[in-house]
Amino acid sequence: MSDGNAATPVRRMRRADRREQILGAATRAFARTGFAGTGLDDVAAEAGITRVLLYRHFDSKADMYRAALDRACGRLQERVGDDDFDDRSIPALLRAAATDCDAFRLLFHHAAREPEFRDVVDDLTAASTDVARRNLAPLIPDGPWLDWAARLIPALTVEAVIAWLDAGQPDPEHAAERIGQAVHGVIRAAAQ
């Protein structure tokens, strides 16, 4: 006969799988309320585990947040690439954002506002600006307008994707084309 108070057995996972589960839960929790607004209890509840188990994988909340950001960066790089900007770039960015909205928001909305983690976004911004500059150089004469466009296009594109996510991902078949039109408007303005 079963005792109604018997504890539900804890499912044992490989360490790497458990860490991945925790990072997924942390990404979702942090994407809702940011670093300051999210407690370890929120992450533990999202993961369906105890807070003690979190500490077996991460030294602190900050350690977990940075790991979630690193994971989000790695996944974004896998899906979008990091070297060229061409006709496939915006559709790939939209697919990456739609596939993992929480990670995208965590990187480009929350981390950008968290001084302790701003370096992650600054590194992404610097890399994106370098890629944009290299790819825009054949289209825009060297000088301040090339610098302007190289800085503006990545920022515009990210903000356009976040706005698209916030609007409920409307017209996914044509969203990349619409964002591309805005990007080409910047290129035209800079090239004049």
Distance CA 182, CA 9 (A): 54
- Could you tell me if residue 25 is inside a domain? yes
Q: Are 97 and 135 in contact (CB under 8 A)?
A: no
pLDDT at site 75: 92
Would 110 be classed as within a structural domain?
A: yes
Torsion angle defined by CA atoms of residues 74, 39, 19 and 106, in that order, rounded to the nearest 10 degrees = -10
| Number of independent structural domains in the chain | 1
Domain contains 3: no
- Tell me if 150 is assigned to some domain: yes
pLDDT at residue 10, as a whole number: 52
Domain-embedded: residue 63: yes
User: What's the pLDDT at 2?
Assistant: 42
Tell me which long-range contacts 73-81 makes (C-beta under 8 A, separation of at least 24).
Answer: 73/107, 73/120, 73/124, 75/100, 75/103, 76/103, 76/104, 76/107
How far from the centroid of its chain's Cα atoms is residue 142's Cα? 31
- Its domain, for residue 121, covers 15-191
Q: Which CATH number is 28's domain given?
A: 1.10.357.10
Token pair, residue 66, equals 């940075």
Per-residue model confidence (pLDDT) at position 151? 97
Note whether residue 179 is domain-resident. yes
Predicted pLDDT at 176:
96
Question: Average pLDDT of each block of 10 consecutive residues along the chain (192 residues)?
Answer: 47 84 96 94 94 92 96 91 79 94 94 90 92 95 97 96 96 95 97 90
